[in-house]
Structure 1
Amino acid sequence: MHWNELLPTFLLSLVPIILAMGALASARRPRQRAWRTAQVTTLSGLLLSTLLLALGLSGVLPTVTGWWQTAPLQLIMLLLANFIAFVVVRYSATYLQGEPREQRFVALAQGVFAAVSVAVLSDHLLVFLVAWLTIGLAMHQLLMFYPDRPRAALAAHKKFLFARSAELCVLAAFLLLYLHHDSARISVITSAYAAPGGALSASEQAAACLLALAALIKCAQLPLHGWLIQVVEAPTPVSAALHGGVINLGGYLLLLFSPLLLQSTPAQALILVVAGLGSVLAALIMTTRISIKVRLAWSTSAQMGLMLVEIALGLVELALLHLLAHSCYKAYVFLSSGEAVQQDLQRRQAPGRRPTPAQWLSAGLMSGALVAGLGAFVHYVSDSSAFDVVSPWVLMTLALTVLLAERRGPLGAGAGAGFLGLAALVVLAYFGLKSLFAVLLPTLEHTAPLWADLWVSTLFVLLFAGYCLQRHGLHHRWVQTLNLYCYAGFYLDEWVTRNTLKFWPHPLPSRIRAKRLHAASHGGSL
């Protein structure tokens, strides 16, 4: 192999190697030196990932080199993972100062992101699976950072079982694909589905459904979502790493195998039904929560469901944009969650006014006209397929309707033109970014079926109706009852937890014992 072929392989391998060596070094060094080592390794990984993305976009890197893939999807995900790693480590150096297990955290955090780097770059089924398993096992240790907390132990136990179930699904899917294609190269397998061909075989359909099921489990979709809500017992940096990076791997799995998924109607239907309903319910449940970290956890479940729906509709460029924006946003809001009290007080000082029916109607008409006008303009100046799928624009119209209607309160009086301009900017930014990411990803010849588009559009309308009822209709008794069920999460997690513990019992730490010891020590000192 010539040196110009070895160099890209070496540079790509260097990213996970640096993080892995940093993890080993941090585990053996004193506390201060361990944090400095972690900051150096994560910064090195971030800079190297940036360089690799620049080389990849300029066409210098081959698409596949060694066991690594260097397409824009892989390099963007590599940069995202290392950016989240750098931010989390920098924040944790202060946040976890003085914690007895902080040295364990800094080593495990680097190990997690080293495995994530391997997973997003891998071009081999076995390497991907081993990295996926390593991520799950290392995250389990991070979630048990406070092993004496019963809720944390219960959440980690449920996640451990669900993660192993997802890995078994991936293993079975990979085995079926390997037997069908006689190759373990991911690039070879996905290229076979780049163009629509004949009907998929039974083994290919089964593999697509197994991959879809694995992604649903990994992305904490209802009803297997409870662990994601309860892991807020872990330190805030662990939540930021989980919600900002690790949980996105389910979406990345479907993005990676989207050429296969989009040719399997059963797999698409599975995602559209489960993730579609789950995202709507999770979004409505989120609005009933008070704790900022719990609200963010429910938001993650809803956003992951929406991202999976986008992939199932064939909007892979929109899903990648969604993944990047969600990762950076969730990492930021978790790490700044301490400011939530002040933000809530500011919001309470300027309450909005309930929009009148006329204001709702005018906001809906303006939003619809804005989106329709942009659609006509885009069709006139380009051959863009942005409007081939209607459901995203239904969601955009409904979101703009809420924005324009609810901003007509005391603070928004007389500012209609400004908010209308903001709404137009949002629509243009959406179209522009979607078009940009479409250039970065390979073109897939796929058109969402009409039933899928109508189903997702109906879900968005139901979400809009549920939001309006929760926000402005709580004076109705039946809405109060619905809100009560939303607050309870429709008791889905209780049912799953009860059956999970029946299937695999797990002893949980008891704080009662600690309280008794504390009381006994006080009694003995008297």
Structure 2
Amino acid sequence: MTGQTRANDAVQPSENATPSASFLPRATTAAVWVLFLLSVGTLALTVTGRSAWGFAGALVIDGLTAVVWVVVTFFSGIVHSYSRRYMAGDRYLDAFFARIFAFTLVVMTMTAADHVALFAGAWLAMGLLMTSLIGHVRDWPQARAASRTARLYFLASSGLLTAGLLTLVWATGATSITGILGQVETLPRAVALVAVGCVFLAAIIQSALFPFHSWLLSSMTAPTPASALMHAGFVNAGGILLTRFAPLFAGETAVMSGIVVVGALSALLGQALLLVQTDVKRKLGASTMAQMGFMILQCGLGFFAAAITHLVLHGFYKAYLFLSSGEAVEQTAPKSAKRERLSVPGAVVSLLTALGGGALFAVLTGKGTHMDSGLFLAFVVVLTTMHAARDVLRRPSLSPSVRLVSVPLVVLTAIGAYGVLFNAVSTVIAGAPMAKAPTELTVVHVGVAALFALSYLATELGWHRSSGRLYVALLNRSQPDPDTILTRKEDYNDA
């Protein structure tokens, strides 16, 4: 582990690094910010027009497209601007900027594509460009190994998506996604289930859900800006895919329940893997796995607008964490793993804040006020709020009295902001095939809720620390492909 810690510290840019004088970084950075402004204009037109537009059978620009365009171009603009200094002096500088700009264009194309060939081609190109970024440092055997590992997963994802789309084209005779979704009701059940299985597997591979998460944990050879783009944008493609094809899933209660189970297990496993990590980037990788699990879970609940809201917020958060990871390595000192115990007043404040957060979310969004999957979503909000409140209450930097007073204000304000954004996204993407389709509350939801509660209790009581067998199992599960691990500082210096 010592070698990994040094490695994360060693790859930070020199203090004397200056933005590159090369033309391509400056040109692509300016271009992507222009795309961002155009995307904002597109979003405004979509909101005011309240209807989809584009090129019939080829491209469709609706609320979902506009939201994703704004988010993707904003993140890409930040990464481009950051990389001009971070990547200064890199021998493959122009190639790096060409790839991240091409990646931006491909993601925008995939989001707007209506023709199945264009959609599948953009999905494949998106994966291949990301594998190239993961293996950016060609001189490292480990980087080449990480690129190969990711490429295998992404080719499998593209193959499954293509198979699902071809099945739908064969069954409906339509070559556009809009045309296919318009005939969902006429699809034979067997054909629909085959297509659903292919599309779902393609989504969870791309989003690094269990058991396909190893490519993400093996991708740490990517330059930090590329990792930020990967974790803030690329892995979100699974949620976009499920949202775009929502009518295929929404009518099948068993399928939706299965999606909930897969998302929940990935979320819990990702959080468990996070608890045993010491490497900064691998912590972020496990966190991304957990967050993608929550995103897919929300799709399974039928709240596709909630999934899009989640990927927007996760993108902002994870991009910031990756781009500031070097500062965290430099400034963070080892400290005791022992956490401060909550006082009785602190526990009461935490519980009341959590209940208040769930009630506020229900009032703002209407989710949790009926006996459907919205009740489960509100329960997740309560658990998340309780976890956030208890984390703040344990911080020793504030006095106990200040913590008790400030926690409800800060946490409830955050929940209120989330509820407002959720409503805004729901309104904007209302023109998409399906923004929300809550399912009936089933025994699966009750079982997953009980599992979440038990996992939360286990984390609070530190059971993962008291069981050596569990700790080792989690540590082994989080190991990347051994061929992708850099252990010598000299390897970094040579590059």
TM-score class, shorter-chain normalisation, is 0.7 to 0.9
Instruction: Supply the distance in 1 between the matched residues of 2:361 and 2:85 (Cα, whole angstroms).
Output: 49
Report if aligned partners of 2:253, 2:439 keep a CA contact under 8 Å in 1.
Answer: no
Residue 74 (structure 1) aligned with residue 65 (structure 2): yes
What's the CA shift for 1:121? 0.7
What's the CA shift for 1:361? 5.1
What's the CA shift for 1:354? 1.6
Give the equivalent residue in structure 1 for 2:6: none
Report if aligned partners of 1:352, 1:406 keep a CA contact under 8 Å in 2.
Answer: no
Relative distance call for 1:339 and 1:131 in structure 2 (3 A) is same
Residue 127 of structure 1, aligned match among 98, 114, 118: 118
Cα offsets for 1:371-429 (capped at 9, x unmatched): 465478x3xxx993453422222222223333444544552411313212223323323
Relative distance call for 1:372 and 1:183 in structure 2 (3 A) is closer
Cα offsets for 1:305-362 (capped at 9, x unmatched): 11001001101111110011111221121111112135534x9599852225x45752
Give the equivalent residue in structure 2 for 1:44: 34
1:446-485 equivalences under 5 Å are: 446-470=438-462, 474=465, 476=466, 478=467, 480-485=468-473
Q: Mean alpha-carbon deviation: is it higher for 308-317 or for 391-400? A: 391-400
Report if aligned partners of 2:267, 2:294 keep a CA contact under 8 Å in 1.
Answer: yes
Instruction: Supply the distance in 2 between the matched residues of 1:59 and 1:392 (Cα, whole angstroms).
Output: 31
Q: Mean alpha-carbon deviation: is it higher for 240-249 or for 449-458? A: 449-458
Report if aligned partners of 1:229, 1:294 keep a CA contact under 8 Å in 2.
Answer: yes
Residue 436 of structure 1, aligned match among 424, 435, 451: 424
Instruction: Supply the distance in 1 between the matched residues of 2:224 and 2:366 (Cα, whole angstroms).
Output: 42
Q: Mean alpha-carbon deviation: is it higher for 387-396 or for 231-240? A: 387-396
Report if aligned partners of 2:217, 2:478 keep a CA contact under 8 Å in 1.
Answer: no
What's the CA shift for 1:490? 6.5
Instruction: Supply the distance in 1 between the matched residues of 2:452 and 2:123 (Cα, whole angstroms).
Output: 33
Relative distance call for 1:148 and 1:87 in structure 2 (3 A) is same
Give the equivalent residue in structure 2 for 1:401: 386
Instruction: Supply the distance in 1 between the matched residues of 2:204 and 2:263 (Cα, whole angstroms).
Output: 7
Residue 35 (structure 1) aligned with residue 17 (structure 2): no
Instruction: Say how many residue pairs are matched.
Output: 461
Give the equivalent residue in structure 2 for 1:503: none
Cα offsets for 1:157-212 (capped at 9, x unmatched): 1211111111111111101111222111112223445xxx6896210111111111
1:351-370 equivalences under 5 Å are: 353-356=340-343, 358=344, 362-363=348-349, 365-367=351-353, 369-370=355-356
Relative distance call for 1:43 and 1:206 in structure 2 (3 A) is same
- Which secondary structure state, in structure 2, belongs to the residue aligned with residue 145 of structure 1? coil
Match of 2:450, as an amino acid?
T
Q: Mean alpha-carbon deviation: is it higher for 133-142 or for 151-160? A: 151-160
Residue 57 (structure 1) aligned with residue 39 (structure 2): no
- Which secondary structure state, in structure 2, belongs to the residue aligned with residue 231 of structure 1? coil
Residue 369 of structure 2, aligned match among 387, 390, 400: 387
Relative distance call for 1:141 and 1:371 in structure 2 (3 A) is closer
Residue 144 (structure 1) aligned with residue 135 (structure 2): yes
Instruction: Supply the distance in 2 between the matched residues of 1:430 and 1:214 (Cα, whole angstroms).
Output: 29
Identity of matched residues, %? 26
Report if aligned partners of 2:80, 2:97 keep a CA contact under 8 Å in 1.
Answer: yes
CA RMSD of aligned residues (A): 3.1
Instruction: Supply the distance in 1 between the matched residues of 2:50 and 2:220 (Cα, whole angstroms).
Output: 43
Match of 2:113, as an amino acid?
S
Q: Which structure 1 segments of 5+ residues have no match? A: 1-29, 498-506, 519-526
Relative distance call for 1:323 and 1:439 in structure 2 (3 A) is same
Instruction: Supply the distance in 2 between the matched residues of 1:104 and 1:373 (Cα, whole angstroms).
Output: 50
Give the equivalent residue in structure 1 for 2:286: 298
Report if aligned partners of 2:224, 2:323 keep a CA contact under 8 Å in 1.
Answer: yes
Relative distance call for 1:307 and 1:408 in structure 2 (3 A) is closer
1:149-188 equivalences under 5 Å are: 149-188=140-179
Match of 1:137, as an amino acid?
L
Residue 285 (structure 1) aligned with residue 273 (structure 2): yes
What's the CA shift for 1:261? 1.3
What's the CA shift for 1:254? 0.5
Relative distance call for 1:511 and 1:419 in structure 2 (3 A) is closer
Instruction: Supply the distance in 1 between the matched residues of 2:393 and 2:30 (Cα, whole angstroms).
Output: 49
Instruction: Supply the distance in 2 between the matched residues of 1:406 and 1:369 (Cα, whole angstroms).
Output: 16
Q: Mean alpha-carbon deviation: is it higher for 437-446 or for 347-356? A: 347-356
Report if aligned partners of 2:257, 2:445 keep a CA contact under 8 Å in 1.
Answer: no
Give the equivalent residue in structure 2 for 1:89: 80
Report if aligned partners of 1:151, 1:231 keep a CA contact under 8 Å in 2.
Answer: no
Cα offsets for 1:26-71 (capped at 9, x unmatched): xxxx961111211221122111111111111110864343321111
Relative distance call for 1:339 and 1:172 in structure 2 (3 A) is same
- Which secondary structure state, in structure 2, belongs to the residue aligned with residue 58 of structure 1? helix
Relative distance call for 1:383 and 1:336 in structure 2 (3 A) is closer
Residue 106 of structure 2, aligned match among 115, 126, 131: 115
Q: Mean alpha-carbon deviation: is it higher for 270-279 or for 115-124? A: 270-279
Cα offsets for 1:225-261 (capped at 9, x unmatched): 1121121111111101111112211111001011211
Report if aligned partners of 2:264, 2:448 keep a CA contact under 8 Å in 1.
Answer: yes
Relative distance call for 1:91 and 1:445 in structure 2 (3 A) is closer
Structure of higher RCO (CA pairs closer than 8 Å, 6+ residues apart): 2
Instruction: Supply the distance in 2 between the matched residues of 1:511 and 1:291 (Cα, whole angstroms).
Output: 12
- Which secondary structure state, in structure 2, belongs to the residue aligned with residue 69 of structure 1? strand
Report if aligned partners of 1:313, 1:452 keep a CA contact under 8 Å in 2.
Answer: no
Report if aligned partners of 1:173, 1:210 keep a CA contact under 8 Å in 2.
Answer: yes
What's the CA shift for 1:122? 0.6
What's the CA shift for 1:152? 2.4
Report if aligned partners of 2:120, 2:158 keep a CA contact under 8 Å in 1.
Answer: yes
TM-score, with length taken from structure 2:
0.84
